[in-house]
């Protein structure tokens, strides 16, 4: 349930209203937006009488929220959520570009790639230290050492780092990581989501391979319901009957998620397509559709990459793609961030 407050409602009136509502054993969430102030109610509200609430002198309107996601719902938080990630604003009026290798492979590889990505205009660095691979015989990542190398690359370039956590038991290693990624395969690892909800770091939540948008939003809700509202939604392609691409990038997910939720939306064209040639057109499509960030795989030597070689861009190719992204981002009024 959402309660829209009258503009003239005083602080004291709102406080009294909140106390009264909490008597019904529901959680209240007061959001002071740019254009309105609302109270979101979470819990069992079926027995609450809308007319009685509406009769309160500081209430403008009351609406029931049908969707099962509440904290992630735009009705609960009409303004866009803007996250501050080491000085970069994600979800605001700037486009962020997260670039870097699929996996962190060595100090030389991650530092070289990070420098090249930064020079091309990337605003954050990605790199997998823990790798969710389909085969247990494939490269599994450098794990703790991978995170240490990412931190070195951050020191070298000033780029905040994004890296994936696969298991609860590794979470303690992520204390200096700027954004914790939850991979597509873990989107419904609810215990992991709950634990991430209890930490104070931005979480980049990737859509599961066969998950609906509502399931993605419910997974965001798991994190938010534990107290962490710093959630970033990521469209990374879904499984369809089409085998020519690794997955099918769901462009419509971008405006839909932005409409249904206030959370920032990131698009990963690399895992969506699996084909390096498609990164440019898919990135441009995602920017045109209103994404807040792109996550693109870049490797200094993709042919010898230990994972996802076919979809990673060389630094040269990435530079060219970035030029197009910058031009389009400028055109749509959401220029690529250039914060130092
Ligand atoms: C990744 O970004 O490294 C990754 C494994 O992606 P996904 O979880 O989307 O497959
Ligand atoms: Mn990858």
Query: In the prediction, which pLDDT does 36 show?
Result: 87
| CATH number for position 30 | 3.30.70.1140
45 and 153, same structural domain?
no
| Contact 246 CB / ligand 1 (< 6 Å) | no
Which of 135, 181, 248 for mutating ligand 1's site (highest number of atoms within 8 Å of CB)? 181
Distance 181 CA to ligand 1 centre (A): 9
- Is residue 260 lining ligand 1, measured as CB closer than 6 Å? no
339 found inside a domain:
no
In a domain, 252, yes or no: yes
User: In the chain, how many H helices and how many E strands?
Assistant: 10, 14
According to the model, what pLDDT value does residue 33 have?
A: 84
What average pLDDT score do residues 205-224 get?
98
| CA 308/CA 73 separation, integer angstroms | 34
> Do 12 and 80 fall within a single domain?
no
Say yes or no to pLDDT of 339 above 80: no
Query: Ligand 1 pocket: which of 101, 132, 182, 295 to mutate (most atoms <8 Å of CB)?
Result: 132
Answer for the pair 98, 294: CB distance below 8 angstroms, yes or no: yes
State how many domains the chain has: 2
Degrees to nearest 5, angle at CA 113 with 108 and 119: 130
Residues 195 and 299 both lie in one domain: yes
128 in ligand 1 pocket by Cβ < 6 Å?
Answer: yes
CA–CA gap between residue 260 and residue 106 (Å, rounded):
41
Judgement on whether residues 240 and 105 belong to the same structural domain of the protein: yes
Q: Which ligand is nearest to the CA of 163?
A: 1
Q: Is the CB of 183 under 6 A from ligand 1?
A: yes
- The stretch 134-142 carries a mean pLDDT of 96
Predicted confidence at residue 35, as pLDDT, reads 84
Q: What is the pLDDT of residues 244-262, one digit of tens each?
A: 999 999 999 999 999 999 9
Q: Band of the pLDDT at 340, cuts 50, 70, 90? A: low
**CA of residue 184 to ligand 1 center, whole Å:** 6
284 found inside a domain: yes
In sequence order, the 6+-apart residues with CB closer than 8 A to the CB of 2 are 38, 39, 40, 41, 62, 63, 65, 75, 76
234 and 92 both lie in a single domain: yes
Q: Is residue 249 one of the residues assigned to a domain?
A: yes
Q: Same domain, yes or no, for 139 and 22?
A: no
* Residue at 68 is within a domain: no
Same domain flag for 152 and 297? yes
47 and 160 both lie in a single domain = no
Query: Which atom of ligand 1 has the smallest separation from the CA of 206?
Result: 9
* Whole-prediction pTM: 0.96
Domain presence at residue 316: yes
In the Cβ-directed half-sphere of 303, how many Cα atoms lie within 13 Å?
A: 0
Report the percentage of the chain scoring pLDDT > 90. 96
Domain that holds residue 94: 74-331
Domain termination residue (choose one: 11, 41, 63): 63
Residue 181 lies in a domain: yes
Q: Classify residue 111: in a domain, yes or no.
A: yes
């Amino acid at each position: 349930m959402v309660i829209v407050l009258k503009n003239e409602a005083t602080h004291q009136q709102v406080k009294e209203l909140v106390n009264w509502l909490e008597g019904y054993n529901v959680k209240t969430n007061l959001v002071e937006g740019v254009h309105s102030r609302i109270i979101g109610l979470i819990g069992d509200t079926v027995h609450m009488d809308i007319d009685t609430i509406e009769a309160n002198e500081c209430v403008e309107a009351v609406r029931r929220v049908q969707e099962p996601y509440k904290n992630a719902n735009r009705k609960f938080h009409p303004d866009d959520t803007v996250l501050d990630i080491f000085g970069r604003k994600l979800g605001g009026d700037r486009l962020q570009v997260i670039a870097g290798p699929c996996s962190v492979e060595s100090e030389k590889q991650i530092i070289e790639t990070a420098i090249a990505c930064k020079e091309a205009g990337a605003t954050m660095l990605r790199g997998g230290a823990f790798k969710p691979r389909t085969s247990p015989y494939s490269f599994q990542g450098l794990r703790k050492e991978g995170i240490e190398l990412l931190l070195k690359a951050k020191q070298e370039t000033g780029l905040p780092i994004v890296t994936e956590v696969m298991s609860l038991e590794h979470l303690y290693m992520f204390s200096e990581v700027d954004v914790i990624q939850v991979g597509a395969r873990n989107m419904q690892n609810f215990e992991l989501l709950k634990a991430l909800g209890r930490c104070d770091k931005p979480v980049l939540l990737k859509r599961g391979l066969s998950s609906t948008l509502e399931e993605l939003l419910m997974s965001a809700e798991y994190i938010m319901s534990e107290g962490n509202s710093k959630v970033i939604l990521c469209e990374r392609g879904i499984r369809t009957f089409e085998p020519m691409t690794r997955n099918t990038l769901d462009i419509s997910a971008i405006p839909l998620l932005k409409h249904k939720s206030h959370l920032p939306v990131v698009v990963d064209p690399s895992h969506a397509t699996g084909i390096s040639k498609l990164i440019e057109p898919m990135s441009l499509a995602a920017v045109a559709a209103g994404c807040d960030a792109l996550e693109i795989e870049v490797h200094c030597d993709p042919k010898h990459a230990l994972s996802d070689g076919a979809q990673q861009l060389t630094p040269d190719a990435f530079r060219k793609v970035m030029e197009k992204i910058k031009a389009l981002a400028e055109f749509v009024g959401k220029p690529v961030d250039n914060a130092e």
